[in-house]
Structures are given as C-alpha cells and as structure tokens.
Structure 1
Amino acid sequence: MNRLKRKQAWIKALASILAVLALATPFRSEVSAAAQLPFDDISDSYAKDAIVRLYQANLIDGTGAGRFEPRKAVTRAELATMLDRLFGLESVAAAVPAFTDVPEKAWSYGWVSTAVQMGIVTGISASTFGPDRQVSRQDAAAMLARAAKQALSASSEATGYKDADQIASYALAAVAQMKELGIMKGDGTTFRPAAPVTRQEAAVMMDNVLQREAWTSQIRAATEMKIQIGWQYGQTTAQFEKQVLSSNVNTLSPRWFFLESSGMTLSGYDASLLTWAHQHGKPVWAMVGNHSDREMTHGMLSDSAKRTAAVAYLANEVKNNGLDGLNVDFENVDPQDRSGFTQFIADLASGLDSVHAVLSVNLSPDTYSDWTDAYDYAALGKSADYIVMMGYDQHWNGGSAGSVSSLPWLESGLNTLITRVPASKVILALPLYTRDWTVGSAGTTAQDWSLVYQNETLKAHSPLMVWNADLGQYTASYSDQGNTHELWVEDGRSLAAKASLGERLGLAGYAYWYMGGESTDVWGSLRNAMKFSSYRFK
C-alpha cells in the first residue's frame, strides 16, 4: 500500500473511532454526572443543586445507603438539627434534659438541646418535644423566623396567599416574613400551611438562607471571645489548669492576695501557674480578698497610711511577679468606708497604671442596702478598668428560699449598673453553683451545691422539671427523708439566657464562680449563646 492509501485508511479508521466515541460520550457524561451526586435518588429533584451544595457544606446528611429521600417529610428533630447546623451552632449534650421524649441516648439529643436553648424551637407541651412528628410548612416558617432572629410585627402579616385564612395566627407573620425575604415560598398563589415539609423543600429553604451573603458572612465568622475570667477556688494548680483547658476561660484569677490584720499579704502564690498561663496566652489577674472581714477592712480603708502601704505592696508584687492585673474582691465593707474604698481603688488604679497592669473590681448588684452602700459605683467605674458584677446570691442561706440568679433580677442589676458604668467596662459574673433548699419542721435551710452535684441529684431523684420562662431557669422539687427540697436549677440553658442578656447589653465579658463547679456542657451552651447573639440579620 502506498503512502497516500495508507493515510486515507488511517483517516477512515480514526473517523470510525471518533464516531463510536461520539455516540458513547453522552452516556459517559451522564454516568459521570450521576457519579458526582452525593445521593442516587436526587437526579430528578428540583432541589438537586441545593442538596449538593448543602451536602458539600456538611449541613445535611442522607438517610442511609446513598439515599436522600427528597420527598420524605421532615421531622421536628430533623429540622431542629438542620437549622442548628445552618446557623453555625454546635450540638450540646445538655446535662439537664429539656424534654422527656428526647432522652440523652437519642441521636438528636444534642441538636434539640441547642435549638431549645437558643429559642429556635419550643416543645409541643411543657415536657414533650415530639421529635418524630412531621413539621408543617407554617411551623417550619416559625422556626426559620426564630433561627433568623426576625423581629415580627402585625404589619408583616399580609402574606398575599389565597389560603392565608388557613395559616395559624402564631405563624402568620413568620410566613409573610419568609416570603418577603425569599426564603420560603408558596406554590404560586397558595402556601399550604398544614402540609408537611419535605426534605427537598427544607433543602431549598436552607439554600435560600445561604444565598444571602450578608447572613452567611456572619455565620462563618469566628466568634469573638470577650474577657472570660475563671476564678480558682478549692482546686490544685493542676486541677485548675485542666479545667481551664476544657472551658472558654481566657483570663485566670487565682486567690493569691489577702488583707490580713498585719496588712496585705501574698498567700498561695504558684509561679508555675503564671508560667503555664502565659505559655497558653492567658493573662493572670490575681484576686485580692478581704476575707469579708468588716472590722479588719475598716482598719485599712480608714487609715491613709495603711491604704498607701497596701497599694505600694500590691503594685510592687504585680511588677516583680509579672502579673497582668488584679481583681479586687472586697465584700462586707462598712458603709462608713465608702470614701476610703473609693480612694483605695483610685490609688490602686494609678499604681497599676505605672506597671501596665489591669484593675478589675468585683461588686454585687446595687440593692440599696447595707451590703452595697459602701460602693460608689460611678466613681469606682471611672478608676478601674473593669467592674465585675457578681450576678448571683439573689437568695442566700439565712434568707428566703429562691433562685441564686433569676433573669429578671440579673437584668435589673445590670440595667442599674450601666447607668453608672459604661457597658463596655462591665463584666458579668455567672454562677457555676446553685442552692438546695430544704423545707422541714426546723424551718428552711440551704446548702451550696456545684452544678455537678446538682445534676447528679436530679438524675437520682428524677423530679418534675418545669421551665420557668419568666425566671429563665428550671424549677424542681423532690422529697428525701421526709423533707421537701426545692431547686432553682442553673444549667446550660439558664446560663445561656444570662449570657444572651449580656450580649444584648454589649458587656465587656464574663466571669465564672467558680471553676470546677460546672458541668462541661455549659461551655458549649455559652459559646452558642455568644455566637447566636452576635447575628444581625436583615
């Protein structure tokens, strides 16, 4: 065969090969495209693209064996989980269950706990959630509106849907708002409020949220961790360090300085803790206490020479030991020492400024009583870098039974304080303890409990837990050895409510009395509260 014929034969063979490949290409492309889908049953779903995007973002999962089941109805537990993930919240296995029908062993326990704590979902009764119930479209709209932190009003109740009269009154404004935002739409002119939400509908709704760049930028942003003070009390250095590492704490406050009859002293100082803290990038604000001794405190505050000596001693110790600041905790101060305490803090602030250290002062909420009359809040706030409001001991042993820190009481104290001290200089101290109140023939007494012991007792006695929305905490009662016990429970949910209040007010940070008293789940609850409170969705 000559060269020309060989070339022609080669061209003909190549053409045949290309023709075969051309016929095969559509099939191969179709197979390739199908192979790229995360689920094998979504190729004909109108939500396919949304499902893929959400799956790639680790926001949704399938139902098993490569299936998504796009037309399957969504349950309340599933939608709570989807919304938690969508809005960047973490699953928190709450130490205190919110509902009897979502036990700790349930797959959705942590996600439902988070959604409840953030106010995204509510129960179908005081004690039940209905995790396996299908979610209606109107309920989904209400949950979405809460998750998106939408301020709903009567003016947003005009939906434009022909079946608007079938929408429940509690969901009407939410349905209208979701339509206006383009997050949740009806079928042309109807909304079908009672129809169950399918998995593909849920995917589209979630994807519509993701398309709002101003929202997603907030969701994806790292949460700013403000000042988080952890007080050391009753722990060894090793125990304290371990607890700090498992917490949100970024500022350590060991109890190292005490006022004694002989003057200010350094007691229990551990240089290894200071070294460890600085290696982990955590400043140390050592506490300065007065043993709540009114007479001894008066002896120092009423004597200018003793005040000056105390200030000089503290400033020198801070400088020599490389401390980052001090945390003054003078309690049970006599009202006659109001001016002396004010001057002591002013002088100490000046002394610490010279060594570039921070001064924070612990104060109780102003009760206009003998306990707080010694504190000139406005003057102290001008001198100190921070005022730490001790948001606890609303009720104490010896007084009437009640909460350690109810939300209305806390809010009242903060609102009063920030009229005198800028919110940007206020740190809110939260309780990692509670009190068990025993009501018996001998009267009413209280015993301080760590949250760990509280939770163990709740599990042992299984009392009826009732969430009191007004107080922002659970209440419970149980009987033991013929006595009635009453508890105002502190847990992740109550602490998250308190932190959310602090975030709304724009506080400088938080403190925790005391490290070791907490159950570890509270830290996740607090992180969620701080992140969720930062969102400003419009």
Structure 2
Amino acid sequence: MYKFSLIIAVLFVSVCHSRHVYGAEPISVGKVSASSTTAFTSSKMQSQVVTNLVRGEEYPIIKRKEAVDGEVIHTVATGDTLYLVARHYGVTVNEVKKENRLIGSRLYVGQRLIIPRDLVSHQVERADSLWKIARAYNTSIDRLIKNNQVDAVVLQPGTDLEIPEGFYQLQLLDGKTGWVQQSAVKQSKQDRFNLGWKYNGKHDSYQKQLRINGLDVVSPRWYTLSYEKLISLNEDNHYAVSAAKAGKQVWPLFGNRFDPALTDFILSDAGNRQKVISSLKKSLVQTKSQGINVDFENIDPKNKKDYVTFIQELKKELQPYGIFVSVDVSRENDDPFWSGSLDRAGLGEAADFIVLMGYDEHWGSSPKAGSVASLPWTDEGIKLLLEEVPGHKILLGVPFYTREWITDNSGKVRSVDRTIIETEKLIREKGLTKKWDDSTSQNYVEFMENGEKHQIWVEDEDSMKLRYDLVKKYHLRGTAAWYVGGGPEDIWSVLE
C-alpha cells in the first residue's frame, strides 16, 4: 500500500462480467463446460497430462490451435487400464468401450484404441456463410469444406456441419499452461479496465477527474471498521450520481484502519461479521454501487481463516444484487501480519477479483533508497500470485507516485512522497535530465543540494507502458492507479 506515516491503501476495483467497460482490448477466458476435461502439455491428445479440470473452472486463453486431422489412437502399454486410458484423454470408460466395441475391460499390450472425440456441430441457418461460421468457431473455411465436403458457395439451411476440433492453451495455476479440447471449454470475452482511487482532493477536482478518458472505475473511501458501531459509513450520494452520469462505475473501499485488534474483534465473531455485512449491503444497494473493494491489512495470522470466511459470507449476500467483491492482497513477503495472514488461494476462490498491490518495494521509512516498484520486482510478484489465482481475476496496481530519497553526509536516508505531476515539475525546475536505469526499467534522476544527495526513480509514461505490457503478457484483467489526480490526464492513454 501507499505509505505516508503508516500505510494508506491502494485499490483496484473489478467490474462485473455482464457490464461493458470502456477500456483496453478484452481478455479471452475459457470456462470448463464438460464435467471433467484433461489439460495436456501440447495440442496433441497423446501428450502428457498436466492436470484434470472440472466444470466451472475458468482460466485465461493464451492461444488456439487446430486439431490434427484423423482419429486419435492410443496404443496400449504395460500397466494401462481402461480407467487410466479414459482419464488420460478426459473421457469415460464407457465411451472408450463403446467406440471400440469392447465387451469386457481386459486390454493387451500393443492394442490400438480409438479415443472418442466430442464433435461440435452447427446447423446452417438461412443467413449463414462459410466465412461467418468459420469466424464464429475460430476455424478456417478450408477446414470446414474438408470436414464436411460442402459447396463453398451454396449452403443448404438445416444442414449440420461438423466443426473441426481445436485446442485452447490455458494459463493454469502454479505457473503452468495446458492444452484442452475446444469442445470442453466455453470461451468468453471479458473487458479490461482502469480504476483510480478518489483521494485527497476537493469537490471541483473530483468532478473534473470524472471526465478523464481511460478512467473506467472510481473508488471512494466510504467504509471503515469501528469498535463503537462495528462499521463507519461515509457515503457520498452526490458523487455516486455524478460518477454514473459520467459513465464511471463506483466501487467503494472498505478498510480496517490497519488495526489487527479491531479486525480480530470483527472477524472472529460471527454475529459481528453479519452486522457489518448487513450494513454494507444496505449502503451499496442504496447508492447503486456496482461493487466493493475490501482492503484489510496488518491482520493477525490467527484470523487467516476468519478473513476468508468473511469474504465468502459477504459474496453470498451481495451476489443477488449483482454487486461484486474484490480483495486487496500484498505482494508476498516475510511479514506474518502484512503478508502471511492472507490466504491468497482461498480469497481468490471466495472473491470475484484479487487486487495485487504492486508498489512500495521501498516504503516511505525504508533504510535504503530505491524504486517504489521496479519492473523485475513487479514481474516476480505477478508470477507468485499466479501460482494461486487465475490471471483473469487479477488486477495489477500501478503507482501514480514515487519518492524523492535524500541521503545526508552520515548516510542516513529519508524520503518525500511525490506524485508524478510533482516529480515532473521538480525535474523541470531543476533542469534535470532523465537517464534510463536498466536494473529497474525506469527513468532516474539525481542531484546534490545542501550537501545531500537526492535520488528519484521516476514513474512516468515509460514505466506505465512496461507495466501494462505485463498485464497483457500474463493475461491479467486490468490496472488501477493510486491515485486519480496523481498523474497527468494523458498518462491514462498508456493504459488503454
């Protein structure tokens, strides 16, 4: 999180699947529609098995390949059984027996088994063309003609066409990828989007920020935990209405004041959890908010399971209203309260989206000067989270701030927080020249003043562009920025 004297939360908010968000190109996601399906190491079913997936699991689609023509044949090897063969190819024992007209279950080494395939068919409609059908099923006209022996010019309505089987490569967990049959996966397009957190400004500046192109979602700080009332509510209906008129979605932030004792007081008591959830639901529905971002930090490790339970309960209450839940998580580190208390896999299953706080590599009180978020550090953080959460559910944090590090003659380091706008102004006023730092993939400036060394690892369009490249590389859902107004308006175009 963004740290002043302590740490101030940064948030990224997700957008529900059914609503369109104006922003960058969508991400392709595959949802397993078969009761079970096998992910292979290549687009050949004879390849090794990566894992077995079950209906309902979703993963980003990396690419698609056509299946190789002809039947899939398995040659029985020592130790093979019908069960093992069927499991390897993601089919049932009965399907294998039926395809090969087997009466019993006995196999012999060298026996050739035909593996059944789930064929996709399309019934031709009056307005259909081969081009239209090929595009709809992500295949080629030549493959349609070859598989069906049809006239390339005239299609007869009512004709059933066999769609050539293909394979999708999915980005799985634990850094793995796997190829699955296209017929076992339902593809969807999900919009990427940009979010900005509303912070530290006046009413007029907030209204102006709502007109920023490239900003899709705004997030005001409305809710915090409280000993007296369990939850403090600070809604702004006027802002919510203005955001809606500007075409922006509103996802309020719900924080825990970074207080582990207060958080334990709420999370460990089922009655307190339900009272908080009831208050949140009432407020979110009344303000017509589309979602909520839960930003609990500095949690006692003993509440690790309680936190997942709370998110599960919150999700259950908000889902009927179409209100989505996103949860902030820190980049993995050794701190038991700030990192170890987060069950990222459990939270990823319970919530709709997980927000990776990709900043504060060097925090405000760090004894060592350095980047707020170097590219290698950010890249590694994404890969660590991808071991537990699918990429299309992850939102990457981008800092619209940096720090000016000041080192005195004794070697003692202190820092001053600088927004992108403030940093650019300082560079102009002091006539500094940016130099590229390969180790962080950022621009860098330094100068001496009053015998002290000043260093800034600059956040600008160059660093933002490289972060967005990571979003595309790892098939993440989108980005967000701390905070709206911290950077020039044109920087948002880099994130589109």
**Normalising TM by the smaller chain, what interval?**
0.5 to 0.7
Aligned to 2:352: 385
Aligned to 1:408: 376
In the aligned structure 1, how far is the partner of 2:483 from the partner of 2:242? 20
What is the deviation of 1:355?
Answer: 2.1
What is the deviation of 1:440?
Answer: 0.6
Aligned to 1:338: 304
Unaligned runs of 5+ in 2: 1-134, 136-189
Aligned to 2:494: 525
In the aligned structure 2, how far is the partner of 1:290 from the partner of 1:275? 26
- Does the alignment pair 1:301 with 2:267? yes
In the aligned structure 1, how far is the partner of 2:284 from the partner of 2:490? 34
Alignment of 1:22-421 (within 5 A): 226-370=192-336, 371-399=338-366, 400-421=368-389
- Aligned match for 1:512, one of 476, 481, 489: 481
In the aligned structure 2, how far is the partner of 1:269 from the partner of 1:235? 16
In the aligned structure 2, how far is the partner of 1:404 from the partner of 1:244? 27
Question: Which SS does the other structure have where 1:328 is aligned?
Answer: strand
What is the deviation of 1:488?
Answer: 0.7
What is the deviation of 1:464?
Answer: 4.1
Q: Deviating runs (4+, > 3 A) in structure 1?
A: 263-268
What is the deviation of 1:413?
Answer: 0.5
Alignment of 1:364-513 (within 5 A): 364-370=330-336, 371-399=338-366, 400-441=368-409, 443-513=412-482
In the aligned structure 1, how far is the partner of 2:221 from the partner of 2:268? 24
In the aligned structure 1, how far is the partner of 2:466 from the partner of 2:293? 26
In the aligned structure 2, how far is the partner of 1:412 from the partner of 1:263? 40
In the aligned structure 2, how far is the partner of 1:323 from the partner of 1:465? 42
Which structure has the larger Rg over C-alpha atoms? 1
What is the deviation of 1:266?
Answer: 4.5
In the aligned structure 1, how far is the partner of 2:266 from the partner of 2:213? 37
In the aligned structure 2, how far is the partner of 1:237 from the partner of 1:316? 25
What is the deviation of 1:257?
Answer: 0.7
Q: Which amino acid aligns with 1:319?
A: V
In the aligned structure 2, how far is the partner of 1:403 from the partner of 1:463? 18
What is the deviation of 1:508?
Answer: 0.7
Q: Which amino acid aligns with 1:429?
A: G
In the aligned structure 1, how far is the partner of 2:224 from the partner of 2:197? 15
Which protein is richer in strand relative to its size?
A: 2
Q: TM-score, normalised by structure 2?
A: 0.59
What is the deviation of 1:483?
Answer: 1.1
Provide the aligned C-alpha RMSD in A.
Answer: 2.1
What is the deviation of 1:514?
Answer: 0.7
Deviations 1:214-266 (CA, angstroms, capped at 9, x unpaired): 9xxxxxxxxx9622111101123431231231241111111011111124434
Q: Is the 8 A contact 1:264 1:313 kept in 2?
A: no
Question: Which SS does the other structure have where 1:229 is aligned?
Answer: strand
Q: Which amino acid aligns with 1:440?
A: D
What is the deviation of 1:295?
Answer: 1.9
Q: Which amino acid aligns with 2:241?
A: T
Q: 1:463 to 1:395 in 2, by over 3 A?
A: same
Deviations 1:154-175 (CA, angstroms, capped at 9, x unpaired): xxxxxxxxxxxxxxxxxxxxxx
Q: Is the 8 A contact 1:476 1:487 kept in 2?
A: yes
Q: Which amino acid aligns with 2:486?
A: G
Q: Is the 8 A contact 1:263 1:306 kept in 2?
A: no
Q: Is the 8 A contact 1:263 1:310 kept in 2?
A: no
Q: 1:266 to 1:322 in 2, by over 3 A?
A: farther
Q: Which amino acid aligns with 1:510?
A: T
Q: 1:463 to 1:246 in 2, by over 3 A?
A: same
Q: 1:486 to 1:327 in 2, by over 3 A?
A: same
Deviations 1:171-211 (CA, angstroms, capped at 9, x unpaired): xxxxxxxxxxxxxxxxxxxxxxxxxxxxxxxxxxxxxxxxx
Percentage of pairs with the same residue: 31
Q: Is the 8 A contact 2:444 2:456 kept in 1?
A: yes
In the aligned structure 1, how far is the partner of 2:322 from the partner of 2:490? 36
In the aligned structure 2, how far is the partner of 1:406 from the partner of 1:308? 40
Unaligned runs of 5+ in 1: 1-213, 215-223, 528-538
In the aligned structure 1, how far is the partner of 2:249 from the partner of 2:378? 27
Question: Which SS does the other structure have where 2:263 is aligned?
Answer: helix
In the aligned structure 2, how far is the partner of 1:467 from the partner of 1:484? 19
Aligned to 2:160: none
Which protein is richer in helix relative to its size?
A: 1
Aligned to 1:220: none
Q: Which amino acid aligns with 1:233?
A: Y
